[in-house]
With several copies, the nearest count.
Chain A
């Protein structure tokens, strides 16, 4: 499904990694780890189609894809460092806007249910500005639960989540992988993914890196 060949990333005059190749099949989760600044976020953004690799290529469904490839855009759900929340809008409005943007057909009830699943039912109608850090991240989880995208790209999905939140994420990930979805995630902690589906990738061991 998702495959890379001799991928390299450069920033400034530093090579973050090079010669990176892996293949990820349906139902598998690639969990990227490595020290701060080793290029996890950079890799995830390349895989999402947001930036072009310095070298190498990325293949999705067997076809080589360039940044913002239409087929990749149909398949990817990207949760990065930035929350993509509009402070002026409520949690409900934010979620509704996202699902419409993704072309999912989610009605108000489905959205309310998704918000209740992440324990935001009682905070669904106040401006997102007023929400706590973890509650903001939970809106991102609610979005994933509504999404039917096949490839989830998650950058440090555990940030600011309490133990309940981690459980919600665990359920989501399990269901997604079960259904043949793919996950690429970067994290400094262990991610709640069934070991059978886990494909760990330690970027620190990939050649080319000169960090710090």
Chain B
């Protein structure tokens, strides 16, 4: 077990594995998303109060979830990178940031367009919105910081530290705004309460979530492969990897 982890914590052995996984999750992403869209746009009935506008939920909720979840994962890899100085975990964190930013941006964008018909405004300063916005800024800050530091090793550690500081900050923002002002609706999926949503809607939501999730995994792994090649192109094994492909 331990041996396995060590084996895959080196970029050399992770590279081919990531390639295979990326392909699998890429296929899953397409399948789940198509199924989710089918359920969401065709099977699910029009809502009595909101009309068809509510269908934004099938994009909004999965992306909002992923925006938060990816940040957690990124913070986890960052902690590993800082603590154990492992190259691969820093690369994972680096690869996650753009996808996280995309998810946060999609959640904000879809939320804003949902807000227009339902609350009559694109924007309000509420807990979820504010914390999603700040999350987006944190992602962008991490990306910008990396771009601004020439030495990748130093960039790794600086970004990891920023990600961890941000990880403390996001929950604080969430609660600070919640105590101060609330407009956004609360969680409607919980394990303890009876489901409040229609069954088809829930199904569609879950399938879409699986699709978005798979997409994130596939894209991140593909990106991490690109990062490995870029960063380790001095090393022999990467050179031998690139040469035959270039010849083809």
Instruction: Determine direct contact between A and B, CB below 8 Å.
Output: yes
Asked if A121 is an interface residue, CB under 8 A from chain B, the answer is no
Q: Are B150 and A13 in contact (CB under 8 A)?
A: no
Asked if A130 is an interface residue, CB under 8 A from chain B, the answer is yes
Q: When chains A and B are docked, how far (Å) is the Cα of A130 from the Cα of B149?
A: 11
Contact count A vs B, C-beta below 8 Å: 6
Asked if A129 is an interface residue, CB under 8 A from chain B, the answer is yes
What does DSSP make chain A's interface, helix, strand, loop or mixed?
A: mixed
Q: Are B150 and A127 in contact (CB under 8 A)?
A: yes
B234 (CB) vs chain A CBs: closest residue: A13
A10 contacts which chain B residues (CB < 8 A)? 234
Q: Are A130 and B150 in contact (CB under 8 A)?
A: yes
Contact residues of B between 208 and 247, Cβ < 8 Å to A: 233-234
Q: Are B150 and A129 in contact (CB under 8 A)?
A: yes
Contact code string A9-26 (vs B, CB < 8 Å = 1, else 0) = 010010000000000000
A13 (CB) vs chain B CBs: closest residue: B234
Q: When chains A and B are docked, how far (Å) is the Cα of A13 from the Cα of B233?
A: 8
B234 contacts which chain A residues (CB < 8 A)? 10, 13
How many Å from the CB of B145 to the closest CB on chain A? 16
B233 contacts which chain A residues (CB < 8 A)? 13
A130 contacts which chain B residues (CB < 8 A)? 150
B150 contacts which chain A residues (CB < 8 A)? 127, 129-130
Q: When chains A and B are docked, how far (Å) is the Cα of A129 from the Cα of B154?
A: 14
Q: When chains A and B are docked, how far (Å) is the Cα of A13 from the Cα of B234?
A: 6
Contact residues of A between 120 and 139, Cβ < 8 Å to B: 127, 129-130
Q: When chains A and B are docked, how far (Å) is the Cα of A130 from the Cα of B234?
A: 18
A127 contacts which chain B residues (CB < 8 A)? 150
Q: When chains A and B are docked, how far (Å) is the Cα of A130 from the Cα of B233?
A: 19
A129 (CB) vs chain B CBs: closest residue: B150
A66 (CB) vs chain B CBs: closest residue: B85
How many Å from the CB of A58 to the closest CB on chain B? 16
How many Å from the CB of B244 to the closest CB on chain A? 21
Q: When chains A and B are docked, how far (Å) is the Cα of A205 from the Cα of B4?
A: 40
Show 6 A/B contacts (Cβ-Cβ < 8 Å), sorted by A. A10-B234, A13-B233, A13-B234, A127-B150, A129-B150, A130-B150
| A-B pairs with lowest CB-CB distance, top 6 | A13-B234, A127-B150, A130-B150, A129-B150, A13-B233, A10-B234
